[in-house]
Amino acid sequence: MNGMLGLGDMNDMQVVGDGSGIEPGPASTPLSMTRRAFLHTTILGVSGIALASCTTGIVDRNDIEITHRSFEIPNLPEAWNGRTVTFLSDIHSGPFMDVNELRNVVRLVNGLKSDVIVMPGDFVTSHTNEIPPFLEAMSELKAEHGVYACTGNHDYYAGVDAVSKAVEEINFKLLRNENARLTIGGESLYMIGVDDDDAKEVKSFVQGKPASHIEAAYKGVPEKSASILLCHKPYYFEEYSKTNVGLMLSGHTHGGQIVLGRIGRSVMTFSSLASEYVEGTYTPQESNSKTQLYVSRGIGVVGVPIRINCPPEITQITLRRPTV
C-alpha cells in the first residue's frame, strides 16, 4: 500500500489541506479535519476488499477515452462561439509512455481537429532523457490557432528550464506566468498560464498582497474579457475563481489513477486525501463567481503502470456564449 500512496503525487498533501486552500495542522478547521478523516477511514476501510476484487475495473492505460464537454464562457465573443479546444494533461513521457504511445496520442488529438490545443503540464516524468521522445511525437500536433501549455510539477523534477526550452522548440506557446491573446475575426480570447511552482501565489493575489508571478500572468488581460486559465494543480480553484477567469483547466490528479469507488461527487482514491478536485467539472463554493474548473484524468501514469476504474482522457471542449 505504501507504493500506492504515491499515486496522484500524494507528496503534495501537506500543501493543500482539504482542497479549500486551508493548510492542515493546528490551524485547520474542524470541518476540514472531519472530511479528511472520513475520506481516510473510508478509503482504508474499502481498499482491501476493493483491490482484491477490482480486476474487472483494470483499464488498459493506452485505451484513451475521448470525452466531449461544453462550457459557457463569460464575455465570449461571437467569433469564438462554438469553437473547440482539445485539452490533454499529464502526458508523462517516460518508462510507461514511449514514443509509439505518444504518437497514438497525437493521432487521436489531431483527429479531433480542434481550433486550439491546451496542455497544462507534466510533459515528462522525472528525467531529461524523456524529453526527446516527447518532442519527436508532439511536434506533429496541429491546431489552427495554436498549442498552449504551462508547466507541471514533474517538469520541475526533470529540470523545468530544460523542459521549457525543448517544448518551445516545437512551437508550443508555453505560458510561464504570462498570457496570450488569440484572435478570430478581430475578437479575442485570452489564454493564461501559471508556472506550477508559482500557482499558490494566487492566495496573496486575491487578498491584494504582492504576488508578482500572478500579476505577470494576468498583465494586460482586460477586466471583462473571455479567458481560459491553464494551471497544472487544481488545488487553488477557489482563489482563482475570484479572479473571474472564465474556465480553469487542470490535471495532476490522474483522476485518482486507482479508483476504489465513488460516493456522489466524492471519488474514493488516495488523491482525494490531497484535494477534493479529482476529476470532472467543479464550480466555486465560496463565491458567486461564474468560473468553472475542469480536471482531466490525464494520459499517463506514475508509480505503477495501471489504471483502475479510471481510463485516460482526452477532452474536446466546445466554447459557448452564456445563454443568460
Residue type present at position 162:
A
- Spatial CB neighbours of 87, under 8 Å, sequence gap ≥ 6: 118, 119, 249, 294, 296, 314, 315, 316, 317
Domain definitions of the chain by residue range: 57-320
Identify the pLDDT of residue 60: 65
pLDDT tens digit sequence for 56-98: 567 766 789 999 999 999 999 999 999 999 999 999 999 999 9
- pLDDT band of 25, cuts 50, 70, 90: very low
What is the distance between the alpha carbons of residues 272 and 277, in angstroms, rounded to a whole number?
7
| Rounded distance between C-alpha atoms, residue 122 and residue 85, angstroms | 19
Exposure class string for 106-136: b at 16+ Cβ within 10 A, else e? beebeebebbbbbbbbbbbbbeeebbebbbe
Whether the CB-CB separation of 296 and 282 falls below 8 Å is answered with no
pLDDT at 30: 35
| CATH numeric code, 57-320 | 3.60.21.10
Report the predicted TM-score, pTM, of the whole model to 2 decimal places: 0.84
Kindly report the length of the chain: 324
Residue 100 confidence (pLDDT):
97
Cα–Cα distance, 152 to 168 (Å, whole number): 15
Burial bucket for residue 38 (CB in 10 Å: 0-12, 13-18, 19+): exposed
* Residues β-bridged to residue 280: 295
Assess whether pLDDT exceeds 70 at residue 279. Answer: yes
Residue 250, SS3 per DSSP: strand
Distance CA 154, CA 129 (A): 13
- Looking at the DSSP bridge assignments, the partners of residue 247 are 228, 292
